[in-house]
Amino acid sequence: MKARTKIFLFLLLCIICGTTALPLKAQSFDIKAFSDTTKYGWKNYLDRNAYRQDLKQRQDLLQIYELEAQPLNTNILKSAIIPGWGQFSAKESTKGTVILGTEIVLAGTSFYFLDRALSKYKLYKQATQVDEIERYYKDAQVPYQYSFILMGAAGIIWAYNIFDVIQSTQDYNVRLWEEIMERSKSGPVNITPTGIEVRF
């Protein structure tokens, strides 16, 4: 490298290091601004204590919610494996029954038509006369097409099942949170993750 390039790089390095070191000046800590409780809306110790108790109660309720809530990914996986299973987990048994029943009927009839098409196709392969070959081939095409139409409908129901389990799980979790909040307000005896709490 030339001397000018080395000098230029050295000066550039000094400028970069100098500009990053400038903002590192020590700042004083303002204890009065930090300990000002009025910015939180606390006028006295009782307000602070009420806020602390409310925060503790919400944390306890959140722990209960996390224990009882349905995880979305688990329900999606359940519904992907067996259509309607996620809806059953989200306490939507009617939807789960309809989806599972529809899926079973569509898949069953699809396999039935596929079996009929394959048996006709087997006869087509064994036929030796031209008119028999044409007849068996046409006879095999109709159930084969029905089989694919029904399998496509089963695929559409399966995709709707995945979409619906997302909605059902989110609705279940919202209802659960509202129920937990209602339970916490209703009775003098509450069950928390740390034990039983009695209010007088």
For the chain, which residues make up each domain, given as ranges?
A: 50-198
| Residue whose token pair is 């409310």 | 54
Helix axis angle, 45-68 relative to 130-186, nearest 10°?
A: 150
Question: Would you state the pLDDT for residue 19?
Answer: 54
Q: What is the DSSP letter of 78?
A: H
Dihedral (Cα; 64, 166, 103, 107), 10-degree rounding: -120
> Which of the four pLDDT bands, split at 50, 70 and 90, describes residue 7?
confident
Question: Would you state the pLDDT for residue 28?
Answer: 73
What is residue 84's three-state secondary structure?
coil
User: pLDDT at residue 21 above 80?
Assistant: no
> Which of the four pLDDT bands, split at 50, 70 and 90, describes residue 51?
confident
Task: Write out pLDDT tens, residues 151-164.
Answer: 999 999 999 999 99
CA distance 57 to 153: 49
- pTM beyond 0.75, yes or no: no
Task: Write out pLDDT tens, residues 67-123.
Answer: 989 999 999 999 999 999 999 999 999 999 999 999 999 999 999 999 999 999 998
